[in-house]
Amino acid sequence: MKEQIVLFAEDDGALRRIETAINGKPSQKALDALHYFFGENIEKQLHYLVSLPSLVGLPPNVRARICENEDQLPSMIANADYLVCERTQVTYDLMKLSKGRLKLIQKHGHDHNNIDIQGAKKLGILVACLHRSSTLSITEYILTAIFALSRNLLFAHEAVKGRIRAQDGLQSEGAPRTKYNWGRVPNMQVVQGKTLGLVGFGENGIEVAKAAQRVGLKIIYYQRHRPSEDREKIVEAKYMTSLKQLVQEADYVCILVPYGPATEKMFNDEILANMKPNSFLINPSRGGIIDEEALYRVLSERKIGGAALDVYRWEPVPADCPLLKLDNILWTPHIAGGNPDDFLTKGDHDVLANIARVARGEKPEFLIEAD
């Protein structure tokens, strides 16, 4: 029986997991990715991955290949029956190199702007997307942070817990008594009508914007390359021509760009100094995007309302990190992406299930139709 090839367009930890499921054994890079998300003991996760092909009915002649760099893709696609991609630009010319062999392009994500849908239709190639659990989780984390910061829940929580040391003689006795805001919680704000500034308007950004709009937030955003007006209209988003302009107008600034040379310490002294006095900074992306020394200065001097930090330059956070001394930061230990088990049982499962459907001659789920 002739082999059917699933080609992964990028060398990514998530795609390495699916490679493990298809080929029945992990590469070293796949092991590294599994240890990163699940810790030292990955026996349960490996068992689940290698059982996935039988669970979804994947034919036994399917094998996986990975492009370790983008230069390999044009030559490797000629032998591919299925292509799985994240950010790679899948153009009409690239698809033509498959010479009619390619049956399915499976996007590992929901946003498919990087795929020429019309070109795929012309060549008879199906295109399907994936609703990633991590995108939903990041959206929920950001909304949680917005509400927690706006109601100053950190201060409120400590005000109540601090009653264990109270010396005022009050006891749990007598008639019920009430006293509004007896903890003297300051700087409480209503979210509705305020402005959320998104730094990055990709797949996560648009989903965050949809959810934020439903609770009454206005949406502004900044990224280096402005997308189409149709994308902006989905959430009535307003484009800012610079990061400085965005932070000057936003009540909540949320970082949703990847880390790299272009975003290293993107939030420096100048940018942070231009944030509104009672605004909040939320970072579920990567720690290196913020100059943490500059952040310490604006937070310690109360020049902004506070911050929610899920990621840091060095993880776990070192004991000598000066930010740990501050009381206006909502800390979480890199959990915005959600439960790693969902990456396997939803993301990896759904990608393989779609490939299995097409291999059986069925339509994939979340099929993207050309206009």
Told to judge if 207 belongs to the known catalytic residues of this protein, a careful annotator would answer no
Q: Could you give the CA distance from residue 73 to residue 50 in angstroms, rounded to a whole number? A: 26
* Catalytic-role residue among 63, 87, 110, 334: 334
How far apart CA 87 and CA 113 sit, in angstroms, is 9
Cα radius of gyration (the chain): 24
Report the distance separating Cα 319 and Cα 316, nearest Å.
9
List % helix, strand, coil for the chain (3-state, nearest 5): 40, 15, 45
Tokens 């994947």 correspond to: 58
How crowded is the C-beta side of 163, counted as CA atoms within 13 Å? 12
Task: Take residue 206 and report the two structure tokens written for it.
Answer: 């648009």
User: Distance between CA atoms of 203 and 115, rounded to whole angstroms?
Assistant: 14
**286 part of the active site:** yes
As a whole number of angstroms, the distance between CA 332 and CA 137 comes to 14
Is-catalytic flag, 315? yes
* Euclidean distance between CA atoms 327 and 304, whole angstroms: 13
**Active-site entry in 112, 286, 349, 357:** 286
Burial 340-369 (b: 16+ CB within 10 A, else e): bebbbebbbbbbbbbbbbbbeeeebeeebe
Catalytic option among 158, 270, 293, 315: 315
Place of tokens 């001659």: 361
- Which are the catalytic amino acids? 286, 315, 334
